[in-house]
Amino acid sequence: MKKVLFLLLLLFLPLASAEELHDYQSLDLKHTISNSLILTPSTSNFYITSATITLLWIPKDDFRQETISMSTVPSADIDGDNLVFEFDHPEENELDISVESLIRTRSDYRRVTNKISFPIENFDPVLAEYLYPSEIIDVNDDIVDLANSLSAGKDDLYEVVFSFAEWVEDNVDYNLSTITSEAAQKSSWVLTNRYGVCDEITSLFISLNRAVGIPARFVSGISHTDLDYFADPWGPHGWAEVYFPGVGWVPFDVTYKQLGWTDATHIKLRESVDAGDSSVEYNAKGRGFDMVGGTLDNEVEVVTHGALQKSNIDINLKIEKPQIGFGSYNMLTAELENKNNFYVSAYVQLGSTQNVENLDDRYRHVLLKPLEKTKLYFIVRISDDLKSGYIYTFPMTLVLGSESKETSFKAKRSDSIYGYDYFADKIPKVSASSAPIELFCSADKESAKIGESIIINCEAENSGSRVLKSLDICLDDDCSKMDIGLDEVVTFDFSPELTAVGVKNFIISVGNNNFVVKRYILIRSLDDPSIIISNFDAPKSVAYGEISSISFVVEQDSFSEPEDILVSVDGKRFSESWVVYDFTGKNEFVFTIPTKIMSSGSNDLKIVVEFKDDKGIEYAVQKNFSIDMTNVDFWDKILIFFNRLNYKMSGWFENI
């Protein structure tokens, strides 16, 4: 009787253990962030009247993150999305701050339950800043060409965004070389060099979205990593959020291969237009000192965790041939089923088995629509250098997140041997056709007011091998017919109208029943710039010599951004003005009332804000008010006279 030995080969794959933090559905985390401002005297007569540390990194509540509690040392004021620490006449040279937060995070999708059409044609004005290039998240011709190539033929927004993330993850290496880890590189640099850290990988992904008119923003925060390179597994991290109309901001962490979701180790601290925005700002007033900001330190402690995540996807495995001969090919078919009524993504890994060669990529990204089923195919070949007289059992394991599914097949010397083509012919083919048209389009302006003319110029070249007849040349849904001869270059233009304030995405397409090429032109539709004076606060009356102030806010009240802003407070015998260099859309002003030169009784004052539009046209807004100066005696009037004289002479000398 022939002796047969069954030999089970071991799987060699770094599988995630069930205890890894990434696998939990929720985490309660204690996050402590600390920083300092060091003030060093540079002269013997130095003094510091005030210092401010503005912390821009604080926990942001959203659909997957909740701040349960937060405390600060010292006490801080909340200013929008920031924490402001103020120090009045500080005596210490080192000013320390800390923020301790208890945060509950969840591993979850922003649920997109229905197909959202691509391209997006109209945008809310608040999304405008997330549509255009910025300093680091730039957009050049190469990025535009890549984005157009990846989105060609797709009309599902989720599929387009997923294709960008998949391409970046597959083609850009995560690399901690000094040049990129110490200073963030532009998206265009990352595309050329094909490597970067998380911030730079994310920046390129955002650039691809913006290149075709998809709003995307940079998110900075803290996350957990298993890489041995880092001394602390918790550290700063960057990922992206993409805007889906009717749904909101959807997270995409390309570095972590989490597309449409993020795990519970992600602590979101800031949303930004660009990747290089700071996390803390410093300001101090005084004389004769130097100012240096300290390191921003983060500590994270896991307080408790929820249950382990359950997979959103069912997996069924099928081996094409249960038993084969040595040196034969075989194929594993994985059927994936989305059990949910929303889009989900998965990163699938085929385990590596000794004496089994993988002929395809073992790592696959997959996007599943609501309740969709799909199949993945993996062709493998076993070694022909195996011992006769044995039957080998080869395990095949497919890993998806923290879960895995296993099947196996057998091999012995005398069984059938199958070639590669035998299995390759069984895989459904996806035809990849290239369009025979090169299309270039540009507009004569990036922004225009409603009713103002716009011209979009286009050039189309027939790069194919035959004459192209009856092509549809379209701006949105307005189309005309055109023939383009072999190697012919034709030009055409459009003069669209802007009908609403915001950002309009004009879609130019050239094609027929066999192909279509699209280009996207974003135009800002502007109104007249407008400013309002809000939050006005002033006393009705003051006494001579009293220290009192007026406060007000200059606030943008239009989509168009006001330029060259000049703010002034004017009285009968005084005037003070500010040139606004860093207008944030809502700037606060405080003016100390000059009670030593005002008149007894009613004093008429006015706040004037002057500004221009992008074409230099001037605008102004004004607020009039009055303040009574009461209880002014004879000696006060004499002092007022000399104070006014001194004030006037000071002005004369300043102008000499």
**Per residue in 220-241, is it b (16+ CB within 10 Å) or e — as a string?**
bbbbbbeeeeeeeebeebbbbb
Q: Packing angle between helix 157-171 and helix 141-151, nearest 10 degrees?
A: 120
> What percent of the chain shows pLDDT beyond 90?
59
Separation between Cα atoms, residue 124 and residue 118, nearest integer Å: 16
Say if CB 411 and CB 328 are below 8 A apart.
Answer: yes
Separation between Cα atoms, residue 493 and residue 491, nearest integer Å: 7
> If pLDDT is split at 50, 70 and 90, which confidence band does 500 have?
confident
Say if CB 122 and CB 84 are below 8 A apart.
Answer: no
pLDDT of residue 606: 93
Q: DSSP letter at 187?
A: H
Mean per-residue pLDDT of the chain: 88
Separation between Cα atoms, residue 498 and residue 513, nearest integer Å: 30
- Residues 6 or more apart whose CB falls under 8 angstroms from that of 630 comprise 541, 542, 543, 600
Q: DSSP letter at 456?
A: E
Average pLDDT over residues 341-359: 91
How many Cα atoms sit within 13 Å of 299 on the Cβ side?
A: 8
Average pLDDT over residues 539-566: 88
What residue type is assigned to position 607 of the chain?
I
Pairing of strands 403-411, 323-324: parallel
Residue showing tokens 């009705």: 540
* Closest-CA residue to 457 (of 433, 434, 438, 439): 439
Per-residue pLDDT at 25 exceeds 60: yes
**By mean pLDDT, which of 55-64, 159-168, 213-222, 565-574 is the weakest?**
565-574
Pairing of strands 77-79, 82-88: antiparallel
Q: DSSP letter at 233?
A: S
pLDDT of residue 654: 43
What residue type is assigned to position 395 of the chain?
P
- Computed on alpha carbons and rounded to an integer, the radius of gyration of the chain in Å comes to 33
Average pLDDT over residues 345-367: 90
- Residues 6 or more apart whose CB falls under 8 angstroms from that of 73 comprise 96, 97, 98
Task: Give residue 311's Cα distance to chain centre.
Answer: 27
- Residues 6 or more apart whose CB falls under 8 angstroms from that of 59 comprise 31, 65, 67, 70, 101, 103, 267, 268, 269
Average pLDDT over residues 85-113: 94
Per the document, the length of the chain is 656
Say if CB 201 and CB 174 are below 8 A apart.
Answer: yes
Per-residue pLDDT at 315 exceeds 90: yes
Which CA distances in Å does 473 have to 481, 489, 505? 6, 14, 17
Dihedral sign from CA coordinates of 114, 119, 123, 128: positive
How many Cα atoms sit within 13 Å of 644 on the Cβ side?
A: 13
> What percent of the chain shows pLDDT beyond 70?
93
Which CA distances in Å does 442 have to 102, 499, 519, 531? 50, 20, 9, 32
Separation between Cα atoms, residue 192 and residue 85, nearest integer Å: 42
Separation between Cα atoms, residue 412 and residue 323, nearest integer Å: 8
Average pLDDT over residues 395-407: 89
> Does residue 117 sit in helix, strand or coil?
strand
Average pLDDT over residues 482-487: 90
Say if CB 227 and CB 206 are below 8 A apart.
Answer: no
pLDDT of residue 153: 86
Per-residue pLDDT at 651 exceeds 60: no
Per-residue pLDDT at 172 exceeds 70: yes
Which CA distances in Å does 354 have to 88, 316, 386, 395? 69, 23, 11, 10
Say if CB 146 and CB 182 are below 8 A apart.
Answer: no
Higher pLDDT, 431 or 15: 431
Which CA distances in Å does 51 have to 48, 76, 98, 591, 616? 8, 13, 16, 19, 37
> If pLDDT is split at 50, 70 and 90, which confidence band does 644 have?
low
Find the helix or strand (DSSP H, E) in which 148 lies. helix 141-151
Compute how many other C-beta atoms are within 10 angstroms of the C-beta atom of residue 510: 26
What residue type is assigned to position 118 of the chain?
F
* Closest-CA residue to 568 (of 545, 544, 556, 550): 550
Separation between Cα atoms, residue 212 and residue 501, nearest integer Å: 20
pLDDT of residue 492: 93
Tokens of 473: 């040349």
Residues 431-458 pLDDT 10s: 656 788 889 999 998 888 888 889 999 9
pLDDT of residue 135: 92
Angle made by CA atoms 502, 507, 508, in degrees to the nearest 5:
140
Phi–psi pair at 157, nearest 5 degrees: -55, -40
**By mean pLDDT, which of 353-357, 363-367, 378-382, 641-645 is the weakest?**
641-645
* Closest-CA residue to 65 (of 257, 221, 242): 221
Task: Give residue 483's Cα distance to chain centre.
Answer: 42
Domains of the chain: residue spans and CATH? 5-17+310-424 (2.60.40.10), 21-107+279-305 (2.60.40), 126-262 (3.10.620.30), 437-526 (2.60.40.10), 531-654 (2.60.40.10)
> Does residue 166 sit in helix, strand or coil?
helix
Q: DSSP letter at 616?
A: -
Pairing of strands 258-259, 248-253: antiparallel
pLDDT of residue 33: 96
pLDDT of residue 178: 43
Per-residue pLDDT at 227 exceeds 60: yes
Tokens of 59: 């926990």
- Residues 6 or more apart whose CB falls under 8 angstroms from that of 144 comprise 211
Say if CB 77 and CB 55 are below 8 A apart.
Answer: no
Separation between Cα atoms, residue 603 and residue 544, nearest integer Å: 13
Say if CB 516 and CB 506 are below 8 A apart.
Answer: no
DSSP string, 358-418: E-S-SEEEEEE-TT-EEEEEEEEEE-S---TTEEEEEEEEEEETTEEEEEEEEE-TTS---
Compute how many other C-beta atoms are within 10 angstroms of the C-beta atom of residue 219: 24
Q: Please, what's the largest Cα pairwise distance for the chain?
A: 130
